[in-house]
Amino acid sequence: MVELRAEPEGRGWRHYGSRAVVYALLALITVVMLYPFYYMGINSVRSLDQYYAGHGFSLASWRNLFHTLPIGRQLLNSTIITLSAIAIILAVSTTGGYAFAVLRYRASRLVFVAIVAAMMVPIQSIIAPEFVNLAHWGFINHRYGAILVYAALGAPFATFLMTVYFQRIPVDVVEAALIDGLGYGRIFFRIMLPLAVPAMATIAVLQFIFVWDDLLVGLLFLQNPDVRPITVGLATIPSQHLLDIPLLMAGSLISALPAVIVYLLFQRYLMSGLTMGISK
């Protein structure tokens, strides 16, 4: 016979009350996070006079933006730099992670610890030596110089993430493939890489957001107007437009949207990739 237990008086109210508090906090955080985009969007479709008046809409700021900056070329530069850096990072991290997780060799643990330690080095402490080295090789004011810097900055974390992911794949999979006559190279391309798509998507999203939104590296290594990415272009707007808030909001919006879109499209892979080592 099933015994029915009555809930203690007031427990249901406390439960719903705590959930209401949580939802209220989440709603508040959502408003705080989305308000900058609302502010950029609403003010980007106003002229300077309408901005100070607080009402009215106009596309004058967008026309001024495209007249002031070569937006198309700068977006193309940002796309080339970002996608090229991501391609190098994925190539290095997948091969490195596979080597650390499957191809154990002498001192591999020491090398892996050194790579993890490289994640702790702040970018500000290495940016000056990087500038000197690239200037020595003539890589300043060229897109491939910035690509190499971004790849060097993103490779340690990506290699760590891929190593953790490959370690979660059962050893039996590799042993069975070896018994079937596959070499380690074919195992990597035919088995491990297809299984690592979620981790690779996580790395691609994180690095896209970092590289696309970064200003420091582009400002130092890409001073030539022909190779500037969009973030550097906005930071170097001519002085006569510095107080044109609608123009700045239009530029900020067009710069932020690609990273936001990529995050929204691949957030499922991002969440699963960041938490993939917790359950191990």
* pLDDT score, position 9: 52
Phi-psi category of residue 244: left, alpha or beta, with phi > 0 → left and psi -120 to 50 → alpha: beta
Its pTM stands at 0.84
pLDDT tens digits, 98-146: 988 888 777 888 888 888 888 888 888 888 888 888 888 888 888 999 9
Ranges 70-79, 115-124, 265-274: which has the least confidence = 265-274
Q: Is 119 helix (H, G, I), strand (E, B) or coil?
A: coil
**What whole-number percentage of the chain has pLDDT above 70?**
90
pLDDT tens digits, 202-242: 999 999 999 999 988 988 898 888 899 999 988 888 766 66
Residue 145 within a domain: yes
Residue 148 within a domain: yes
Domain at 120, CATH number = 1.10.3720.10
- Range of 105's domain? 70-236
Q: Count Cα atoms within 13 angstroms, Cβ side, for 250.
A: 26
pLDDT tens digits, 166-179: 988 888 888 888 88
Residue 223 within a domain: yes
H/E run at residue 79: helix 71-101
Number of domains into which the chain is organized: 1
Residue 120 within a domain: yes
